[in-house]
Amino acid sequence: MTRARWRRSIGVMGTIAALGAVVLVPAQAQEPTRLPVVSGIEVRGGGPTFWDMRNDGSACETSDRGFTPVSDGAFGPDYAMSDAFDDGLMVSVNGDDIPDLDGTLAIKGDDVLVRGRKVSGVRISRTERALSSSPTLRSLISFDNRSTSKKQLTVQWDSDLGSDSSEAVRATSDGDTTYELTDRWVVSSDDATTPGDPVLGFILFGKNARQAPKTIVNDLGSGCFTVEYRFKVPAHSMRHLLFFTQMTGTNSKGIAKAMAFDSPSKGLFSGLSTKVKNAVLNWNV
């Protein structure tokens, strides 16, 4: 569904351009720059892609008080294709939506740092990076258990799609057009030949990963895409989920870009410390 909010976000290009410039330059800042999370704050990536962030989103399972890194989303020069999402890539943990707690985004180098909330004794935070060399948003979801006991978490990765149920699966990692829990990635669009909205690629886990989704909550074709992970975080430990999401202009390009994750380049994981990589559950980095 095309929404006026995206048009309004274009109207504040001064703020948007300033944020985009910070996000895409090489990491330099020692202290993060903070900006308020408002509708229309935008991060630019390769493609070009445009990821607009807000703090009062609602997807298919999450309410209107969660953080979304892509409220609408657009691809191509002059926003040639927009309305990729109607709030996407939202997180809930044990049934609680995860907002940005202090209402500000911290911009540090190439990363947007999102301070989440504590659920079941575990502090949740996010780090978003729009890759400059790829039409890809990288989302690192972190779970910090500082308690003395192991914690069981149920995590939903939840998106409401702009295609409004007109989407269909164009390809999956196992070579067919049916998304299954064993598929590491899936590509969808609203038309088999000439998509009107950006073509979406959801890369959910890598080869030989310890964790994959356990449940399909909302399948593609419903206007939503929601998968659920379940895992434990040991006492005094951190664990992470790492997601990649892509927007492209054609089905063929979307499939080609997603297939690259069958043998991902090291650059896709740049900026992640060895400690973080070792604690990522859904990738064997």
Question: What gap in Å lies between CA 54 and CA 39, rounded to an integer?
Answer: 5
CB 89, CB 245: distance < 8 Å: yes
Q: What is the pLDDT of residues 243-261, one digit of tens each?
A: 999 999 999 999 999 999 9
Higher pLDDT: 4 or 278? It is: 278
The answer as to whether 128 is a domain residue is yes
The answer as to whether 285 is a domain residue is no
Dihedral Cα 267, 270, 276, 278, nearest 10 deg:
30
The answer as to whether 198 is a domain residue is yes
What pTM value is reported for the model? Answer: 0.90
- The total domain count for the chain is 1
Task: Tell me 26's DSSP state.
Answer: P
The answer as to whether 248 is a domain residue is yes
Rg from Cα positions in the chain: 17
Residue tagged 């650059």 (tokens)? 267
The answer as to whether 284 is a domain residue is no
pLDDT at 17 over 80: no
Q: State the pLDDT confidence band at 39, using cuts at 50, 70 and 90.
A: low
CATH code of the domain containing 124:
2.70.98
CB 223, CB 165: distance < 8 Å: yes
The terminus-to-terminus CA distance of the chain in angstroms comes to 37
The answer to whether the bond into 48 is cis (omega within 30° of 0) is yes
Q: State the pLDDT confidence band at 31, using cuts at 50, 70 and 90.
A: low
Q: What is the pLDDT of residues 170-220, one digit of tens each?
A: 999 999 999 999 999 999 999 999 999 999 999 999 999 999 999 999 999
The answer as to whether 187 is a domain residue is yes
* Biggest distance spanned by C-alpha atoms of the chain: 54
Task: Give the chain's mean pLDDT.
Answer: 88
The answer as to whether 283 is a domain residue is no
Residues 6+ apart with CB under 8 A from 71: 5, 6, 39, 52, 53, 54, 57, 85, 87, 88
CB 262, CB 268: distance < 8 Å: no
Domain region containing 125: 4-278
The answer as to whether 113 is a domain residue is yes
pLDDT score, position 112: 93
